[in-house]
Amino acid sequence: MLASTSRLAHLTGQAFSVETRSIVTRDGVEYAFAREANGNHLLVLAAAPSALAAFEGSTGEYSGGHLLIGPAIPHNAAALRTALPWLKPQPLGLRTSAGLGDRLGLATPGHVRAVRATGSTVAPIFAQQSIREMTRTVQTPQQVMDAATWGMFAEGWQDRCGADADHLKTPEDIDVCAAAGFTFYTVDPGQYVNDQVETMSPTARRAAYEALPWTRLEDTPGALEGRYLTRPFDYGTGRITVEAPALYKTAVKYGGVVAHVVSMYRHLVGVMGDRPFELEISVDETENPTTPIDHLYLAHELHRLAVRWVSLAPRYIGRFEKGVDYIGDVVEFGKDFAVHAAIARTYGPYKLSLHSGSDKFSIYGVAAQHTRGLVHLKTAGTSYLEALRTVAAFEPGLFREIYGFALEHYDADKVSYRVSAQLERAPKPGDVKDSDLPAVCDQFDARQALHVTFGSVLNWRNEDDSFLFKDRLYTFLNNHPEGYAERLEAHFIRHLQPFAEHVHTAS
């Protein structure tokens, strides 16, 4: 039903501000998302009151039917996903895809607009947050899921989407995300990568090789050597010949990774039962790049152990730092990335994933072209930065406070991130005119300081236990939804357009 013929559209200008993009009719029941000063609401209008039974809220007669006005609570989000099944996440398969992380739970409308503006060819993941981010934002997986649901509903999204439970390290991480309905599970076995192998002597490396968890790998040293040292491996555009020293090094570096991924995958299979899901494997947050032999080993061993995955995030050459463009030689990156893409096509196919992918504009075209669209882009903190840019434009005093706080807390908060900002290069809060404050979000050092301090900004409390920034930040963004959405749309068009030009559509 068109918004212009909707009975709910006429509520606009009365008690509620109805988002006309959200209005949809299914099975004779009309649904809409409404904003009010005291909070957001779900509107459901039906001919019979029994059609409202699944939802919570106040009911009454309106326009010849029965109207429910319900709060945007978890119960209603779950009921809405059942009533409008396109809001329920699904596996995306091998389609070119992008994860659009949302630390504040308010970015999905802008993300939806950017996906539409680029032709809706890149399959989106709107509900995405890592366990680390959830801890720092004090959010649950269910809250992340529900925030994306309300954002999609408000914008009238009716296409396929996924939900990424990101950087999972333990079976318990899987359990809580499965209970919330996530469909895309990113296992992070980074703690099992043995980076010390790079400096081991040949004798120490051989001893570490013999000490690998062979029982958990369901393997033996002799069997492994028999699989790799007896033949070359073609990957379409080249060939890899594995010599014994290289095999020992790779197995020591990634043997523990394989064992952990297998354990996590089998737990995931048990938890999900007959519910569809897909797996991503991430080894990006390590010191040393993943070599072609490393990649080959991971793919072959996981296949041997019957693990099925849809995407892999190696540690690429160069630096993928938070919130800034790729740091390194783009030409050399392209050459190395092309080999990884060929291996993924030959021994999969599966997608290559770009983690810490926000703002890596110089390599998006290269990645999309070499993978032929078999690629997944993962972003997160850049949406938070666009929120701060919006604050800077409309409420410079609040931004100046947050920025000064970020500079003070950067050194403590940067520990778990790959960043290289130097505070002496960042502009001082008092030296920037109000009109120039939005541009602070583009300055390399200031940008990284703002990026990694989000947890402290959202959780720091005054002596009276009130939040220093959180309540004011959310009040501002809820009062300026269009300003935030417009900036997100423009920003993410730049992210998605290169991938839309090389899209892979097979599922």
Q: Which residues are designated catalytic? A: 166, 280
- Residues whose CB is less than 8 angstroms from the CB of residue 494 and which lie 6 or more positions away in sequence, other chains included: 361
Q: How far apart are CA 84 and CA 150, in angstroms?
A: 12
The dihedral formed by the CA atoms of 201, 206, 211 and 212, expressed in degrees to the nearest 10: 100
For residues 330 and 299, the answer to whether their CB atoms sit within 8 Å is: no
- DSSP H or E segment with residue 132: helix 131-137
For residues 225 and 247, the answer to whether their CB atoms sit within 8 Å is: yes
- Residues whose CB is less than 8 angstroms from the CB of residue 187 and which lie 6 or more positions away in sequence, other chains included: 168, 169, 260, 261, 264, 265, 268, 279, 280, 281, 282
Report residue 301 CA to chain centroid gap.
26
Q: How far apart are CA 491 and CA 496, in angstroms?
A: 9
**Which tokens is 149 given?**
């649901």
| Residue whose C-alpha is closest to residue 486's, from 450, 453, 438, 422 | 438
For residues 289 and 329, the answer to whether their CB atoms sit within 8 Å is: no
Q: How far apart are CA 351 and CA 213, in angstroms?
A: 28
For residues 321 and 327, the answer to whether their CB atoms sit within 8 Å is: yes
* CA-derived radius of gyration, the chain: 24
**Which tokens is 17 given?**
């501000």
For residues 84 and 31, the answer to whether their CB atoms sit within 8 Å is: yes
Vertex 382 angle, CA 162 and 100, to 5°:
5
Q: How far apart are CA 477 and CA 471, in angstroms?
A: 10
- Residues whose CB is less than 8 angstroms from the CB of residue 375 and which lie 6 or more positions away in sequence, other chains included: 96, 97, 351, 352, 353, 354, 367, 368, 499, 504
Query: Tokens 């389609």 label which residue?
Result: 95
- Whether omega before 349 lies within 30 degrees of 0, making that bond cis, reads yes
Helix axes 381-394, 396-413, angle to 10 degrees: 150
